[in-house]
Amino acid sequence: MEQAATALSFGGKQLRFKHHSTVLNCEMHFSLFLPPQATAGSVPLLTWLSGLTCTDENFVQKACAQRAAAEYGVAILAPDTSPRGECIADDPDGGWDLGLGAGFYVNATQAPWAEHYQMYDYVLEELPSLVAKEHSVDLSRQGIFGHSMGGHGALSIALKNPSRFRSVSAFAPICAPLHCSWGEKAFSAYLGADRSLWAQYDSCELIRRSTERLPLLVDQGSGDSFLETQLKTPLLASACKDSDYPSTIRMHDGYDHSYFFIASFMDEHIAFHAQHCAG
Ligand SMILES: N[C@@H](CCC(=O)N[C@@H](CSC=O)C(=O)NCC(=O)O)C(=O)O
Protein backbone atom coordinates (compact mmCIF):
# COMPACT_ATOMS: atom_id res chain seq x y z
CA MET A 1 0.00 0.00 0.00
CA GLU A 2 1.56 3.28 -1.11
CA GLN A 3 0.56 6.69 0.27
CA ALA A 4 -0.41 8.97 -2.62
CA ALA A 5 -1.51 12.09 -0.72
CA THR A 6 -1.89 13.46 2.79
CA ALA A 7 -3.35 16.68 4.22
CA LEU A 8 -4.26 17.80 7.70
CA SER A 9 -7.99 18.50 8.13
CA PHE A 10 -9.76 19.57 11.36
CA GLY A 11 -6.92 18.08 13.40
CA GLY A 12 -7.18 14.73 11.59
CA LYS A 13 -5.58 13.43 8.39
CA GLN A 14 -7.10 13.11 4.95
CA LEU A 15 -5.08 10.37 3.26
CA ARG A 16 -5.07 8.76 -0.20
CA PHE A 17 -3.50 5.40 -1.01
CA LYS A 18 -2.68 3.30 -4.06
CA HIS A 19 -2.61 -0.49 -3.76
CA HIS A 20 -2.91 -3.71 -5.71
CA SER A 21 -6.29 -5.32 -5.12
CA THR A 22 -6.17 -9.09 -5.30
CA VAL A 23 -9.98 -9.25 -5.39
CA LEU A 24 -10.31 -6.80 -8.29
CA ASN A 25 -7.07 -7.90 -9.92
CA CYS A 26 -5.89 -4.34 -10.65
CA GLU A 27 -4.31 -1.23 -9.13
CA MET A 28 -6.74 0.89 -7.08
CA HIS A 29 -6.85 4.16 -5.18
CA PHE A 30 -8.85 4.78 -2.02
CA SER A 31 -9.16 7.61 0.50
CA LEU A 32 -9.17 7.43 4.28
CA PHE A 33 -9.93 10.15 6.82
CA LEU A 34 -8.43 9.51 10.25
CA PRO A 35 -9.78 11.73 13.05
CA PRO A 36 -7.44 13.14 15.71
CA GLN A 37 -8.71 10.47 18.18
CA ALA A 38 -7.04 7.75 16.04
CA THR A 39 -3.64 8.77 17.41
CA ALA A 40 -4.76 7.66 20.91
CA GLY A 41 -6.59 4.40 20.09
CA SER A 42 -8.80 2.63 17.59
CA VAL A 43 -11.87 4.43 16.26
CA PRO A 44 -15.07 3.28 14.49
CA LEU A 45 -14.83 2.84 10.73
CA LEU A 46 -17.49 4.27 8.40
CA THR A 47 -17.35 3.21 4.76
CA TRP A 48 -18.69 5.71 2.23
CA LEU A 49 -19.80 4.42 -1.18
CA SER A 50 -20.03 6.97 -3.97
CA GLY A 51 -22.32 7.13 -6.97
CA LEU A 52 -22.05 6.76 -10.73
CA THR A 53 -19.09 8.50 -12.39
CA CYS A 54 -17.31 9.13 -9.05
CA THR A 55 -13.88 8.19 -7.81
CA ASP A 56 -12.93 8.18 -4.13
CA GLU A 57 -12.13 11.88 -4.47
CA ASN A 58 -15.64 13.29 -5.07
CA PHE A 59 -16.63 12.53 -1.48
CA VAL A 60 -13.36 13.80 -0.02
CA GLN A 61 -13.61 17.11 -1.85
CA LYS A 62 -17.36 17.81 -1.87
CA ALA A 63 -19.18 16.09 1.04
CA CYS A 64 -17.85 18.32 3.86
CA ALA A 65 -17.48 15.26 6.10
CA GLN A 66 -14.13 15.91 7.79
CA ARG A 67 -15.28 18.39 10.45
CA ALA A 68 -17.98 16.10 11.88
CA ALA A 69 -15.79 12.99 11.55
CA ALA A 70 -13.11 14.77 13.59
CA GLU A 71 -15.65 15.93 16.17
CA TYR A 72 -17.22 12.48 16.63
CA GLY A 73 -13.94 10.56 16.30
CA VAL A 74 -14.80 8.29 13.37
CA ALA A 75 -12.64 7.22 10.43
CA ILE A 76 -14.13 7.34 6.94
CA LEU A 77 -13.00 4.97 4.19
CA ALA A 78 -13.92 6.02 0.65
CA PRO A 79 -13.29 3.36 -2.04
CA ASP A 80 -13.45 3.95 -5.77
CA THR A 81 -16.66 2.96 -7.60
CA SER A 82 -15.25 0.29 -9.96
CA PRO A 83 -12.04 -1.46 -10.88
CA ARG A 84 -9.74 0.83 -12.87
CA GLY A 85 -7.17 0.60 -15.62
CA GLU A 86 -6.78 0.44 -19.38
CA CYS A 87 -7.37 -3.32 -19.48
CA ILE A 88 -10.67 -3.12 -17.54
CA ALA A 89 -13.92 -3.75 -19.45
CA ASP A 90 -16.14 -0.71 -19.97
CA ASP A 91 -19.59 0.01 -21.41
CA PRO A 92 -19.31 -0.81 -25.15
CA ASP A 93 -21.86 1.95 -25.83
CA GLY A 94 -19.87 4.59 -23.94
CA GLY A 95 -22.51 5.12 -21.23
CA TRP A 96 -21.65 6.34 -17.71
CA ASP A 97 -24.04 3.90 -15.99
CA LEU A 98 -22.09 0.68 -16.71
CA GLY A 99 -18.43 -0.27 -16.46
CA LEU A 100 -15.82 2.21 -15.24
CA GLY A 101 -17.23 4.33 -12.43
CA ALA A 102 -20.32 2.12 -12.26
CA GLY A 103 -19.44 -1.14 -10.48
CA PHE A 104 -22.75 -1.23 -8.55
CA TYR A 105 -21.05 -2.96 -5.58
CA VAL A 106 -21.88 -6.47 -6.83
CA ASN A 107 -19.73 -9.50 -7.67
CA ALA A 108 -20.09 -9.89 -11.43
CA THR A 109 -20.59 -13.43 -12.71
CA GLN A 110 -20.69 -12.71 -16.46
CA ALA A 111 -17.94 -12.22 -19.07
CA PRO A 112 -16.20 -9.89 -19.62
CA TRP A 113 -17.04 -8.29 -16.26
CA ALA A 114 -16.33 -11.13 -13.81
CA GLU A 115 -12.55 -10.90 -14.24
CA HIS A 116 -12.36 -7.57 -12.36
CA TYR A 117 -15.81 -6.34 -11.29
CA GLN A 118 -15.96 -7.84 -7.76
CA MET A 119 -16.79 -4.66 -5.88
CA TYR A 120 -18.96 -6.38 -3.25
CA ASP A 121 -16.05 -8.47 -1.95
CA TYR A 122 -13.64 -5.57 -2.30
CA VAL A 123 -15.75 -3.21 -0.18
CA LEU A 124 -16.93 -5.75 2.39
CA GLU A 125 -13.77 -7.84 2.85
CA GLU A 126 -10.52 -6.79 1.23
CA LEU A 127 -10.41 -3.06 1.83
CA PRO A 128 -11.49 -2.85 5.51
CA SER A 129 -9.06 -5.67 6.39
CA LEU A 130 -6.23 -3.92 4.56
CA VAL A 131 -6.97 -0.61 6.31
CA ALA A 132 -7.24 -2.26 9.75
CA LYS A 133 -3.79 -3.87 9.32
CA GLU A 134 -2.11 -0.47 9.07
CA HIS A 135 -4.40 2.00 10.86
CA SER A 136 -6.16 2.15 14.21
CA VAL A 137 -9.71 1.40 13.10
CA ASP A 138 -12.03 -0.98 14.96
CA LEU A 139 -13.75 -3.44 12.61
CA SER A 140 -16.19 -4.44 15.35
CA ARG A 141 -17.61 -0.87 15.16
CA GLN A 142 -18.49 -0.29 11.51
CA GLY A 143 -21.14 1.78 9.77
CA ILE A 144 -21.76 2.13 6.05
CA PHE A 145 -23.33 4.92 4.00
CA GLY A 146 -23.43 6.17 0.46
CA HIS A 147 -25.07 8.15 -2.32
CA SER A 148 -27.26 7.03 -5.23
CA MET A 149 -25.52 3.92 -6.67
CA GLY A 150 -23.46 4.04 -3.46
CA GLY A 151 -26.65 4.32 -1.40
CA HIS A 152 -27.84 1.11 -3.06
CA GLY A 153 -24.42 -0.39 -2.26
CA ALA A 154 -24.52 0.66 1.40
CA LEU A 155 -28.08 -0.58 1.95
CA SER A 156 -27.61 -3.89 0.16
CA ILE A 157 -24.23 -4.67 1.75
CA ALA A 158 -25.50 -3.85 5.25
CA LEU A 159 -28.78 -5.73 4.80
CA LYS A 160 -26.87 -8.80 3.59
CA ASN A 161 -24.41 -8.58 6.51
CA PRO A 162 -26.23 -7.17 9.54
CA SER A 163 -23.72 -8.64 11.97
CA ARG A 164 -20.86 -6.70 10.36
CA PHE A 165 -22.40 -3.22 10.71
CA ARG A 166 -23.90 -1.21 13.56
CA SER A 167 -25.78 1.22 11.28
CA VAL A 168 -26.55 2.07 7.64
CA SER A 169 -27.58 5.29 5.94
CA ALA A 170 -28.00 6.64 2.43
CA PHE A 171 -28.50 9.83 0.47
CA ALA A 172 -30.82 9.47 -2.53
CA PRO A 173 -30.21 5.72 -2.89
CA ILE A 174 -31.25 3.61 -5.87
CA CYS A 175 -33.78 1.77 -3.72
CA ALA A 176 -34.92 -0.97 -6.10
CA PRO A 177 -32.40 -1.72 -8.87
CA LEU A 178 -34.73 -4.47 -10.12
CA HIS A 179 -37.22 -1.76 -11.07
CA CYS A 180 -35.19 1.02 -12.72
CA SER A 181 -33.23 1.27 -15.96
CA TRP A 182 -29.86 1.91 -14.22
CA GLY A 183 -30.27 -1.29 -12.22
CA GLU A 184 -31.66 -3.36 -15.09
CA LYS A 185 -28.79 -2.38 -17.39
CA ALA A 186 -26.07 -3.02 -14.79
CA PHE A 187 -27.49 -6.22 -13.32
CA SER A 188 -28.21 -7.82 -16.69
CA ALA A 189 -24.59 -7.15 -17.71
CA TYR A 190 -22.91 -8.13 -14.42
CA LEU A 191 -25.27 -10.90 -13.23
CA GLY A 192 -26.91 -12.21 -16.43
CA ALA A 193 -30.47 -12.51 -17.66
CA ASP A 194 -31.92 -14.46 -14.72
CA ARG A 195 -33.65 -11.76 -12.69
CA SER A 196 -34.10 -14.06 -9.71
CA LEU A 197 -30.32 -13.74 -9.15
CA TRP A 198 -30.58 -9.94 -9.01
CA ALA A 199 -32.77 -9.98 -5.91
CA GLN A 200 -29.76 -10.75 -3.67
CA TYR A 201 -28.58 -7.16 -4.29
CA ASP A 202 -31.94 -5.34 -4.25
CA SER A 203 -32.53 -3.41 -1.01
CA CYS A 204 -36.32 -3.71 -1.14
CA GLU A 205 -36.10 -7.47 -1.64
CA LEU A 206 -33.50 -7.75 1.13
CA ILE A 207 -35.72 -5.78 3.53
CA ARG A 208 -38.60 -8.14 2.79
CA ARG A 209 -36.36 -11.18 3.45
CA SER A 210 -34.57 -9.77 6.51
CA THR A 211 -34.74 -11.29 9.97
CA GLU A 212 -32.31 -8.94 11.75
CA ARG A 213 -32.67 -5.16 12.08
CA LEU A 214 -30.11 -2.37 11.71
CA PRO A 215 -30.62 1.34 12.42
CA LEU A 216 -31.46 2.70 8.95
CA LEU A 217 -31.56 6.36 7.86
CA VAL A 218 -32.32 7.65 4.34
CA ASP A 219 -32.42 11.25 3.13
CA GLN A 220 -33.95 12.16 -0.23
CA GLY A 221 -34.48 15.51 -1.95
CA SER A 222 -37.87 16.19 -3.52
CA GLY A 223 -36.18 18.20 -6.29
CA ASP A 224 -33.97 15.28 -7.36
CA SER A 225 -34.41 14.72 -11.11
CA PHE A 226 -33.71 10.97 -10.70
CA LEU A 227 -36.26 10.40 -7.93
CA GLU A 228 -39.16 9.02 -9.96
CA THR A 229 -37.26 7.24 -12.72
CA GLN A 230 -34.28 5.67 -10.93
CA LEU A 231 -34.36 6.05 -7.14
CA LYS A 232 -37.98 5.15 -6.27
CA THR A 233 -37.85 5.97 -2.56
CA PRO A 234 -41.56 5.06 -2.04
CA LEU A 235 -40.72 1.41 -2.85
CA LEU A 236 -38.22 1.38 0.04
CA ALA A 237 -40.73 3.03 2.37
CA SER A 238 -43.34 0.38 1.43
CA ALA A 239 -40.89 -2.50 1.91
CA CYS A 240 -39.96 -1.20 5.38
CA LYS A 241 -43.60 -0.67 6.32
CA ASP A 242 -44.74 -4.10 5.05
CA SER A 243 -41.86 -5.82 6.87
CA ASP A 244 -42.05 -3.81 10.10
CA TYR A 245 -38.45 -2.78 9.46
CA PRO A 246 -37.74 0.32 11.59
CA SER A 247 -36.40 3.11 9.38
CA THR A 248 -36.14 6.88 9.17
CA ILE A 249 -36.80 7.99 5.59
CA ARG A 250 -36.85 11.79 5.25
CA MET A 251 -37.93 13.85 2.27
CA HIS A 252 -36.33 17.30 1.96
CA ASP A 253 -38.20 19.95 0.03
CA GLY A 254 -36.44 21.11 -3.12
CA TYR A 255 -33.03 19.46 -2.64
CA ASP A 256 -31.52 17.91 -5.77
CA HIS A 257 -29.18 14.95 -6.39
CA SER A 258 -25.93 16.83 -5.95
CA TYR A 259 -23.22 16.97 -3.31
CA PHE A 260 -24.80 20.28 -2.15
CA PHE A 261 -27.63 18.09 -0.82
CA ILE A 262 -25.24 15.53 0.64
CA ALA A 263 -23.13 18.18 2.40
CA SER A 264 -26.28 19.74 3.90
CA PHE A 265 -27.11 16.60 5.89
CA MET A 266 -23.67 15.01 6.24
CA ASP A 267 -23.20 16.05 9.88
CA GLU A 268 -26.47 14.33 10.83
CA HIS A 269 -25.43 11.08 9.12
CA ILE A 270 -22.05 11.06 10.86
CA ALA A 271 -23.71 11.75 14.23
CA PHE A 272 -26.17 8.90 13.54
CA HIS A 273 -23.37 6.41 12.82
CA ALA A 274 -21.20 7.68 15.68
CA GLN A 275 -24.07 7.16 18.12
CA HIS A 276 -24.55 3.54 17.01
CA CYS A 277 -20.83 2.76 16.75
CA ALA A 278 -20.00 4.11 20.22
CA GLY A 279 -18.67 1.72 22.88
N1 LIG B 1 -21.97 12.71 -15.31
C2 LIG B 1 -23.40 12.61 -15.38
C3 LIG B 1 -24.01 12.80 -14.01
C4 LIG B 1 -23.72 11.63 -13.12
C5 LIG B 1 -24.14 11.92 -11.70
O6 LIG B 1 -25.04 12.66 -11.42
N7 LIG B 1 -23.45 11.23 -10.80
C8 LIG B 1 -23.75 11.41 -9.40
C9 LIG B 1 -24.16 10.09 -8.85
S10 LIG B 1 -25.59 9.49 -9.73
C11 LIG B 1 -25.92 7.95 -9.09
O12 LIG B 1 -25.18 7.13 -8.74
C13 LIG B 1 -22.53 11.96 -8.71
O14 LIG B 1 -22.34 11.74 -7.53
N15 LIG B 1 -21.72 12.69 -9.46
C16 LIG B 1 -20.45 13.21 -8.97
C17 LIG B 1 -20.48 14.61 -8.44
O18 LIG B 1 -19.41 15.06 -7.96
O19 LIG B 1 -21.52 15.27 -8.45
C20 LIG B 1 -23.91 13.63 -16.32
O21 LIG B 1 -23.07 14.16 -17.01
O22 LIG B 1 -25.13 13.84 -16.36
Give 149's Cβ-side CA count (13 Å radius): 28
CATH number of the domain at 38, please: 3.40.50.1820
Q: Is the pLDDT of residue 168 over 90?
A: yes
Span from the CA of 54 to the centroid of ligand 1 (angstroms): 7
Letter for the amino acid at 222? S
Cα 152 to chain center, whole Å? Answer: 7
Q: What is the mean pLDDT of residues 237-263?
A: 98
Question: How many domains does one find in the chain?
Answer: 1
Residue 219, SS3 per DSSP: strand
148 catalytic per annotation: yes
- What is the 3-state secondary structure of 102-159? ECCCCECCCCCHHHCCEHHHHHHHHHHHHHHHHCCEEEEEEEEEEECHHHHHHHHHHH
Catalytic residue among 148, 156, 203, 247: 148
Residue of 49, 50, 52 to mutate, ligand 1, most atoms within 8 A of C-beta? 52
For residues 100 and 84, give the distance between their C-alpha atoms in angstroms, rounded to a whole number. Answer: 7
Q: Is the pLDDT of residue 279 over 90?
A: no
Ligand 1 pocket, CB under 6 A? 51-54, 58, 62, 96, 147-149, 257-259
Domain that holds residue 136: 2-277
Q: Is the pLDDT of residue 37 over 90?
A: yes
For residues 133 and 115, give the distance between their C-alpha atoms in angstroms, rounded to a whole number. Answer: 26
Span from the CA of 51 to the centroid of ligand 1 (angstroms): 7
Contact call for residues 144 and 120 (beta carbons, < 8 A): no
Q: What is the mean pLDDT of residues 47-52?
A: 98
Confidence of residue 252 (pLDDT cuts 50, 70, 90): very high
pTM above 0.90? yes
Confidence of residue 189 (pLDDT cuts 50, 70, 90): very high
Protein residue closest via CA to atom 9 of ligand 1: 51
pLDDT confidence of residue 219:
98
Q: In angstroms, how far is the first alpha carbon of the chain from the final one?
A: 30
H or E stretch covering 187: helix 181-191
As for the ipTM of the complex, it is: 0.95
Span from the CA of 12 to the centroid of ligand 1 (angstroms): 28
Q: Model confidence over 121-149: pLDDT tens digits?
A: 999 999 999 999 999 999 999 999 999 99
CA angle 179, 57, 169 (to 5 degrees): 45
